[in-house]
Amino acid sequence: MCEGYELLFIDEAQRIPDTGALWENHLMTERKKALLYTNVLGSQYFWRTNTGAELDCVEHINGTLHGYEFKWQKKNPKPPKSWTDTYHAAYSCITRENYLEYITGPMHAL
């Protein structure tokens, strides 16, 4: 192990207050790399309404929208009603159990 660094174990991550934000950042970064490496052109956005409904990531690829919510904890929330009512677009919740599919799998396969 490198001096000055500690391994972060999952049980320790539960005690860090910004674990969720770090998780979101990690997933966005890895997904951007995957899109770049596979030459998939598209855009990624954060989506939020003025009433507070939000998605961590919205991708617009090949004319298709797909909304994503990133959760460190084992939660699987439903998409915001305003998302489904307005855009009629796909939605996926990305967790520790399925994040590799999101990062490395086919685009919009979830």
Which domains, ranges and CATH numbers included, belong to the chain?
Answer: 10-104 (3.40.1350)
Q: Residue 88: how many CA atoms within 13 Å on its side-chain side?
A: 0
pLDDT in tens, 61-73: 988 999 999 998 8
Other residues' Cβ atoms within 10 Å of the Cβ of residue 44:
15
pLDDT in tens, 31-53: 999 988 888 888 999 999 999 99
The pTM assigned to this predicted structure is: 0.81
Q: Do 39 and 33 touch, CB atoms closer than 8 A? A: no
Helix/strand/coil for 105: coil
Instruction: State the Cα angle at 82 between 81 and 88, rounded to 5°.
Output: 85
Backbone angles phi, psi at 31, to 5 degrees: -65, -40
